[in-house]
């Protein structure tokens, strides 16, 4: 079985660098998809209240025969739930849906900066971390200025920042800022929602390495140090995405992929969303 490297977070907790994402996986397809991923060897599952499939993720893990302590599970605080009492209710509901008494990582899903409540939400997440029900806490879709607002409050430094990253949006400045503050970067939409697979530069590297375009891009992510969790409901693709640690891209190939940056998003800008 492929051995997935761990990344050590700033609180000492280890997180598998490759995981399985369930964004846009329909609830009625989630149990089968997560079951297939666990069978292949994934031990890191990323979900969210917003995805509507937390219950199915928990069900798949419970049925899998894999011990709860052997699977790293992330879920997220939904938009509109940033006020303390709402955040507490949402967190309790997520634990209940998953069937767990703790999660490995709990994130603020979007800053919703125009509402001005994300710092207060972060203070509430710190409660969950202190009582042990969230082993680590972090944020998602935070720009540098959002992170700086948390730092100004003087509390816990987020363990991770989950942001859109792919070769068309390399996020070099934000990644460098996170590295400076020991915040691990998780990459969502790592394949630019499939668009990157058709890029001629990626295709050439795939041919040269004897790999698929998706494997090449996922390998680029891991060699950069990103934590990544591609999603699929197709067992063969789930297995393919897992097989990225038995080859290495050259420095020239890494640079060629990074040079594709266009600062092009496939999702919304966090400054204007929510």
The reply to whether 51 belongs to the active site is: yes
- CA dihedral in degrees (75, 11, 61, 236; nearest 10)? 80
Both structure tokens of 36: 């297939």
The catalytic residue among 42, 51, 102, 168 is: 51
Dihedral angle sign, alpha carbons of residues 133, 135, 140, 144? positive
Distance of CA 152 to the CA centre of its chain: 25
Q: Three-class SS of residue 216?
A: helix
- Cα–Cα distance measured from residue 274 to residue 235, given in angstroms and rounded to the nearest whole number: 34
Q: Three-class SS of residue 184?
A: strand
CA angle 238, 240, 244 (to 5 degrees): 120
- Cα–Cα distance measured from residue 243 to residue 218, given in angstroms and rounded to the nearest whole number: 10
Both structure tokens of 60: 């798949």
Known catalytic residues? 51
């Amino acid at each position: 079985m492929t051995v997935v490297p761990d990344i050590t977070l700033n609180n000492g907790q280890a997180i598998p660098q490759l995981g399985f994402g369930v964004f846009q996986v329909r609830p009625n397809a989630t149990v089968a998809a997560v079951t297939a991923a666990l069978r292949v060897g994934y031990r890191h599952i990323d979900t969210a209240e917003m995805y509507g499939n937390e219950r199915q993720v928990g069900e798949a893990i419970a049925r899998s025969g894999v011990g709860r302590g052997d699977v790293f599970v992330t879920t997220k605080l939904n938009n509109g739930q940033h006020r303390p009492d709402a955040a507490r209710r949402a967190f309790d509901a997520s634990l209940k849906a998953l069937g767990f008494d703790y999660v490995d990582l709990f994130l603020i899903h979007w800053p919703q900066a125009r509402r001005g409540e994300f710092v207060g939400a972060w203070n509430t997440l710190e409660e969950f971390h202190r009582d042990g029900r969230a082993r680590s806490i972090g944020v998602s879709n935070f720009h540098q200025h959002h992170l700086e607002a948390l730092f100004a409050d003087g509390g816990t430094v987020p363990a991770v920042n989950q942001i859109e990253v792919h070769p068309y949006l390399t996020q070099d400045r934000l990644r460098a800022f996170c590295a400076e503050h020991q915040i691990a970067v998780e990459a969502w939409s790592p394949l630019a929602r499939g668009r990157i697979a058709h890029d001629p530069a990626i295709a050439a590297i795939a041919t040269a390495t004897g790999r698929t375009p998706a494997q090449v891009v996922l390998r680029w992510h891991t060699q950069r140090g990103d934590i990544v969790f591609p999603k699929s409901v197709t067992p063969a693709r789930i297995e393919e995405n897992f097989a990225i640690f038995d080859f290495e891209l050259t420095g020239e190939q890494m640079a060629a992929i990074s040079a594709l940056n266009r600062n092009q998003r496939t999702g919304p800008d966090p400054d204007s969303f929510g």
